[in-house]
Amino acid sequence: MPDLALPFFDFLLPALVALGVLLFAWRRREGPASEGPDRGAPRTTSGTASSARALGAVAFGAALLAAWWSVFGEFAVPSASRVLAAKDWIPWSIVAAIATAGLARFERARRIVPSGGAPLVLSLLVLLAMRTRISAGGSGILHALLVFLVAMATWTALELSSERLRGPLPSLVLALAAAGSAVALALSGDTALGRLCGSLSAVSVASAFVARQRRVFTLSGGPVAIVSVVLIGSWTSTWISQTTPLSSIVLLWAAVAVPSAAGIGPLSTWPATRREIARVALTLALALAGVWIAFQARPGTHGY
Amino acid sequence: MVVRAPSRHRLLPVMHLPRHFLVTGLVASLGVALAFVGPSPAPEQAKAADLVVDAVHSHVGFRIKHLNASWAHGRFDALAGTIHWDPAAPEKSTVELTFDVGSVDTNSPDRDKHLRGSDFFDAEQFPKATFKSTKIAKKGTALAVTGDFTLHGVTKSVTADVEHVGTADSPMGGEVTGFSAHLALKRSDFGMKSVLDLIGDEVTLVVDVECGKK
């Protein structure tokens, strides 16, 4: 009998956690009696509420922290006797993203940490994950700057597309792209981070279900920051460790960023169905190309 | 005809030498002969010395369980270190060893690539493993060497069982000293928790070093 513990704790449990919190955050609330033709009808009051978006960050964050624990079995704490690897900063960045998304509910805090604090969190992630290269100076600083720009481009594309495009398909596109990263990283021998990206894919499927139930649902303003942290952290780590080929990582990044940007750019004038089909096709093509390169460069059976 | 017996002195010309000369000569000859063919004279009390590890005659190996069914073996090829060795008072000795985890060799290039990745050693981010002794105690005929072992960015205090294998004069010149160490540790303690169900947690490191004087 196959061991079901891994798929349960890696994928199903995080997805259920996200589903529960998202359904709670975006629940239909009975608003005050409406006037006019909608009088007495249930009214969604949380659609634009910042609290729902902050809870979205909690949903994605808690789910992925649970997945992290399932995969790595610890939250490594930096100390005199522990130097953290690039990937070890991912859970702390998730916690920071949850905190800043919560702070963004308050007007005064929004002035200090604009855009929900996501740029701040991403810059911290890049600085901490690449500190060894940065301290080496020269090209290391350039690399870090480049990674930060890639991180910002990813977050911006996801944030804008999530804000403008509604329904379950944006989440499913993200699930597809994350699944591509999961397979490519696992094939390259970065199995642990591959599992984490798989968890992100499962959580995205759960959010697609919520988006289908609640048409006002959006990934922007919280969940997108968590998604960016996980993907950028995983890609950066596997790049620093020289596990996954760089060309594969670039294609996996493109599978996330390009369809999102296209959805709010050249494809924005297309009918919704046609646009989303094009986005799915674009994501699939880029992710498969990234997986194919990782497959070609895979280290055999690892000798196991 | 009277035949005179040959002179005693003619038969043994040396006999005309004073007796004490003969005794001294015999003792000296015996000493020289013993120096070449006999056992070495008792060594004088060895002195403390600063030694450097000879990587060519040293080895860091490990073994770990595979599928809980067999032992898989591997080694690290790039080793360096220094030892301050005091034979008269070993507890005053100190040890510092370093090896490159990227030099891991398990007789399978694919597996080695995986081991160098972030699932295990993350050799790009943490290229070195180091050991620095903090305490050395006698343990029967062996030594218990306690020190800080840093691997994969994690530093933990560990104790290795160390045997002083021997000391000899090298035909290449100088004196060499050898040690053999066994160290048992858990890889999960060093943040390497991938595939614990397939590859065991407990690892035995065997470090054999030969050192020469600095």
**Do residues A201 and A183 lie in contact, with contact meaning Cβ atoms separated by under 8 Å?**
no
Q: Would you give per-residue pLDDT tens digits along chain B (214 residues)? A: 444 544 444 444 444 555 555 455 555 555 544 444 444 444 445 788 899 999 999 999 999 999 889 999 999 999 999 999 999 999 999 999 999 999 999 998 888 988 998 889 999 899 999 999 999 999 888 999 999 999 999 999 999 999 999 999 888 888 899 999 999 999 999 999 888 888 899 999 999 999 998 7
Check CB contact of B191 with chain A, cutoff 8 Å: yes
Instruction: Kindly state the DSSP code that residue A43 receives in the 8-state scheme.
Output: B
- The rounded percent of chain A whose pLDDT value lies above 70 is 89
B103 falls within a domain = yes
**ipTM score:** 0.76
Q: Nearest CB to A81: which of B66, B117, B154?
A: B154
Nearest CA to A228 out of A150, A140, A304, A131 is that of A150
Q: How many residues does chain B have?
A: 214
**Do residues B113 and A299 lie in contact, with contact meaning Cβ atoms separated by under 8 Å?**
yes
3-state class (DSSP) for residue B57: helix
Look at residue A303 and tell me whether its pLDDT is greater than 90: no
3-state class (DSSP) for residue A73: coil
The CA-CA-CA angle for residues A182, A186, A189, to 5°, reads 150
pLDDT in tens, A157-211: 998 888 888 888 889 999 999 999 999 999 998 889 999 999 999 999 999 999 9
Q: How far is B174 from B177, CA to CA, in rounded Å?
A: 10
B19 falls within a domain = no
Q: Nearest CB to A238: which of B114, B118, B153?
A: B118
pLDDT in tens, A114-156: 677 889 999 999 999 999 889 888 888 999 999 999 999 999 9
B18 falls within a domain = no
B107 falls within a domain = yes
**Do residues B63 and B73 lie in contact, with contact meaning Cβ atoms separated by under 8 Å?**
yes
Look at residue A263 and tell me whether its pLDDT is greater than 90: no
Q: Give the list of residues 6+ apart from residue A82 with CB closer than 8 angstroms, or none.
A: A76, B153, B154, B155, B191
Which range of residues forms the domain containing residue B124?
A: 49-213
Task: Enter the tokens of residue A59.
Answer: 């949903």
pLDDT in tens, A4-14: 788 888 899 99
Instruction: Kindly state the DSSP code that residue A15 receives in the 8-state scheme.
Output: H
Look at residue A53 and tell me whether its pLDDT is greater than 90: no
Are A188 and B117 inside 8 Å of each other by CB? yes
Q: Residue B91's pLDDT is what?
A: 92
Are A301 and B110 inside 8 Å of each other by CB? yes
Q: Nearest CB to B122: which of A82, A85, A188?
A: A85
Check CB contact of B154 with chain A, cutoff 8 Å: yes
Are B117 and A300 inside 8 Å of each other by CB? no
Residue A93: pLDDT band by 50, 70, 90 thresholds?
A: very high
CA distance A74 to chain B (A): 8
Task: Enter the tokens of residue A7.
Answer: 């798929």
**Do residues A127 and A145 lie in contact, with contact meaning Cβ atoms separated by under 8 Å?**
no
Beta bridge partners of A268: none
B56 falls within a domain = yes
Q: Among all chains, which residue has been given the structure tokens 């120096």?
A: B35
Q: How many domains does chain B have?
A: 1
Question: Taking residues A228-240, what's their average pLDDT?
Answer: 95
CATH code, domain carrying B71: 2.40.128.110
